[in-house]
Amino acid sequence: MNHFRLILIATLFPALISCSTLEHPEQEPVGQFLDQLSSTPPGEGISDRVIDSASSTFPKNQPASKSPSSGFSQPPTSTISSGDPMTKPPLLPRHLLPAFALVTFLFALWGFANDITNPMVAAFKNILLLSHFQSSLVQFAFYGGYCIMAIPAALFIKRYNYKSGILIGLGLYTIGCFLFIPAGNFQAFSAFLAAYFIMTCGLSFLETSANPYILSMGDEQRATQRLNLAQAFNPMGSLLGMFTAKIFILDQLHPASETERTFLQTNDPSAFQAIQAQDLDTLGTPYILLGAVVLAAFLLFLVCRLPGSGEPQGKPLDLRATLTRLRRNPRYVEGVVAQVFYVGAQIMCWTFIIQYGVHELNLSPSQAQGYNIIAMLVFVSSRLICTFLLKYLHPARLLWQLALAACLLTLGTILIQGLPGLYCLVGISACMSLMFPTIYGIALHQLGDDAKLASAGLILAIGGGCLMPPLQGAIMDLDLSLALSSTRLSFFLPFLCFVVIAFYGLRSSPSPSEVKN
């Protein structure tokens, strides 16, 4: 019972934070926000134009300036609105509340899938006696689906509509979950990898559909707030996925160590195969139940109407011209590169925290997963603090400062032994909390209708998570005669990722003269 109380508190925490920070407290209390939300006339429509997530972070009445040092077209430095908050348009038209609630549920669904999967790298390693490199192929397959499907998903949604994209995404998600049944029967690692890949092809459709649909629900001025509210349910799903992985998978696996399993594989193959089959069933059951939930969501979306999801989305897409403009935009191109390195760093830190705890502190995988849950709570809390800091700091400046702090904490993870090193690894999550949306907003600023395809490029950048974990796993497999263990040495890879992010933040920051003006 205590487990379930802890799960309830932890999963509701992000939504409470989001609701408390929808507006500055001195401007619009929660009661006023709810009154304003419900005061919209029922007949008010929804914008048919997809807007980028930076549209309300950088006011449109301020032209961009050119930085002589970086060559970037700079966003304006002021991000604080001085208007009367009571004259602001409602966050969401009342007649769109049911559609908003439905689509927001999807954010929790893909958060759950992401964070139930991270600990499976360690689980598969122990169950199937794989190397670190081989087990990290779980992340290669999982995030490879994002990389492969992002652009096709964007083109599909452009050709059809958001609802069709959501249905395709839920369908692929369901199929991927149910493929854990034959994968467990065959006890084949490649079959599990195929299931993960199909799952995330579906997740790519969901993210590419849900984010712009939420942005388009109502007035453009408050688009980012709508998206932030919806995104609050993503860490709720993530925390629930982490707890599910810990309580219903890692805690339930056979306690035999990897050494003991290797001995059984050689001396008592039948006993080893029995343990292996039992553990694979334990691992697959939550995914099968998840498939049932996603199937129910598919049927619900099939019969429900999503207002505005089928409206035309602007001018016909000229793919070649759009790609040419994006390729010539240095802030966007470097933003995609920065996003690749950010996603890679995030996945490495959250995946290999378990191996760090096991190898450096002799923790069990389940105990190490507890620190992963703490890291997620730190991540969510830090997002609240960083959102407040954006009242006073330019987003790009805060980005490079967070990246620099992440570099220092990563060095602590590498150079400091024992529990302090693990604390440094947990602390990196505080620095990562605002990186993804900040890079997203900077990269898409002032792209206009090109932001529709450009946003798909930033979803494609999630593919960074499929390339870097296997590299870190390969480093961990090395037998090195150094003062540093291969586990700690492997964290130089996320360190380099944070260096790239810091460089992008510096390149995008306004010059002192621009700040003064």
Q: Which tokens go with 446?
A: 């002032």
Which contiguous run of DSSP H or E holds residue 194?
Answer: helix 189-215
pTM (predicted TM-score): 0.76
Q: The tokens 């703490």 sit on which residue?
A: 374
Q: How confident is the model at residue 513 (pLDDT cuts 50, 70, 90)?
A: low
Identify the pLDDT of residue 492.
96
Q: How confident is the model at residue 207 (pLDDT cuts 50, 70, 90)?
A: confident
Identify the pLDDT of residue 515.
56
Q: Which tokens go with 384?
A: 């609240």
Nearest to 285 by CA among 143, 184, 139, 195: 184
Residue of 87 and 497 predicted with greater confidence: 497
Q: Please compute the mean of the pLDDT values over residues 80-100 and round it to a whole number.
A: 67
Q: Please compute the mean of the pLDDT values over residues 239-252 and round it to a whole number.
A: 93
Whole-angstrom distance between the N-terminal and C-terminal Cα of the chain? 58
In sequence order, what DSSP letters do the residues of 425-480 get, joined into one string?
HHHHHHHHTTHHHHHHHHHHTT-GGGHHHHHHHHHHGGGHHHHHHHHHHHHHH---
Cβ 495 vs Cβ 373: under 8 Å = no
Q: Please compute the mean of the pLDDT values over residues 414-442 and round it to a whole number.
A: 91
Burial label for 82, CB within 10 Å (0-12, 13-18, 19+), is exposed
Residue of 231 and 379 predicted with greater confidence: 379
Q: What is the pLDDT of residues 136-176, one digit of tens each?
A: 999 999 988 888 888 888 888 878 888 999 999 999 999 99
Torsion of CA 106, 437, 469, 187, to 10 degrees: 0
Identify the pLDDT of residue 385.
87
Q: How confident is the model at residue 96 (pLDDT cuts 50, 70, 90)?
A: confident
Q: What percent of the chain has pLDDT over 90?
A: 48
How far apart CA 429 and CA 425 sit, in angstroms, is 8
Residue type, 476: M
Identify the pLDDT of residue 261.
93
Q: How confident is the model at residue 440 (pLDDT cuts 50, 70, 90)?
A: confident
What burial letters (b/e) apply to 142-160, b meaning 16+ CB within 10 Å?
bbbbbbbbbbebbbbbbee
Nearest to 31 by CA among 42, 14, 19: 19
Q: How confident is the model at residue 294 (pLDDT cuts 50, 70, 90)?
A: very high
Q: How many residues does the chain have?
A: 517
**Pick from 79-93, 96-110, 140-154, 166-180: least confident:** 79-93
Identify the pLDDT of residue 132.
92
Bridge partners, residue 65, by sequence:
74
Give the C-alpha distances (Å, rounded to integers) separating 316 from 152, 160, 403, 449, 452: 16, 12, 38, 10, 11
How far apart CA 34 and CA 232 sit, in angstroms, is 17
Q: Please compute the mean of the pLDDT values over residues 127-138 and round it to a whole number.
A: 93
Q: Please compute the mean of the pLDDT values over residues 231-251 and round it to a whole number.
A: 89
Nearest to 51 by CA among 222, 299, 231, 282: 222
Identify the pLDDT of residue 223.
67
Per-residue pLDDT at 298 exceeds 50: yes
Q: How confident is the model at residue 52 (pLDDT cuts 50, 70, 90)?
A: very low
Q: Which residues contact 416 (CB under 8 A, 6 or more apart)?
A: 424
Burial label for 42, CB within 10 Å (0-12, 13-18, 19+), is exposed
Identify the pLDDT of residue 212.
79
Per-residue pLDDT at 95 exceeds 90: no
Residue of 190 and 74 predicted with greater confidence: 190
Identify the pLDDT of residue 165.
92
Which contiguous run of DSSP H or E holds residue 235?
Answer: helix 233-244
Q: Which tokens go with 458?
A: 């930033």
CA 59, 65, 67: angle at the middle one, nearest 5?
Answer: 135
Q: Please compute the mean of the pLDDT values over residues 293-299 and round it to a whole number.
A: 96
Going by the DSSP 8-state scheme, the letter that residue 159 receives in this structure is: H
Residue of 475 and 441 predicted with greater confidence: 475
Look over the chain and give the mean of its residue pLDDT values, rounded to a whole number: 79
Query: Nearest 5°: phi and psi at 66?
Result: -100, 125
Residue type, 479: D
* Rg, Å, the chain Cα set: 23
Per-residue pLDDT at 19 exceeds 50: no
Cβ 497 vs Cβ 467: under 8 Å = no
Q: Please compute the mean of the pLDDT values over residues 281-310 and round it to a whole number.
A: 91
Helices (H), 245-351: 258-267, 269-303, 319-327, 330-351
Find the helix packing angle between 330-351 and 435-444, rounded to 10°.
Answer: 170
**Pick from 159-163, 224-228, 506-510: least confident:** 224-228
Helices (H), 53-136: 97-117, 120-128, 132-135
Q: Which tokens go with 394?
A: 């330019």
Q: What is the pLDDT of residues 319-372, one digit of tens each?
A: 788 788 888 888 888 999 999 999 999 999 999 999 999 999 999 999 999 999
Q: How confident is the model at residue 236 (pLDDT cuts 50, 70, 90)?
A: confident
CA pseudo-torsion sign 408, 413, 417, 423? positive
Identify the pLDDT of residue 295.
97
